Amino acid sequence: MVRKRSPYKDAIVCVRFPARFKRIMEQLAYNEGLDLSAWLRNLVIKELKTRGVLSETFNTQSLEAELEKITEKAERIT
């Protein structure tokens, strides 16, 4: 079976954690019925909403508009 790639998930972010952190995150993700990638993605989306750079009604249909807003906000900050 070929996995479909979402057109909204086209960027890869590599990050390093201590092995202990990874084990903890994997367990938390498993407890929520998610793989680590989905769990981390949800964590980042939640943080972006908390910081006000992503709307509370975020969904993949409005991703491009949200990314444009984030870019504009980031450009104003720098």
**Residues 40-55 pLDDT 10s:** 999 998 998 888 888 7
Given this model, what pLDDT does residue 73 score?
Answer: 81
> 31 is in which domain, residue-wise?
19-77
Dihedrals φ, ψ of 12, to 5°? Answer: -115, 135
Separation in Å, CA 14 to CA 11, 17, 40, 77:
10, 10, 12, 24
**Residues 66-77 pLDDT 10s:** 677 777 888 888
pLDDT greater at residue 3 or residue 61: 3
Dihedrals φ, ψ of 26, to 5°? Answer: -60, -40
Given this model, what pLDDT does residue 38 score?
Answer: 92
- The answer to whether the predicted template modeling score (pTM) of the entire model surpasses 0.85 is no
Helices (H) and strands (E) in the chain, counts: 3, 0
The answer to whether residue 2 is domain-embedded is no
The number of distinct structural domains making up the chain is 1
**Residues 17-41 pLDDT 10s:** 999 999 999 999 999 999 999 999 9
The answer to whether residue 33 is domain-embedded is yes
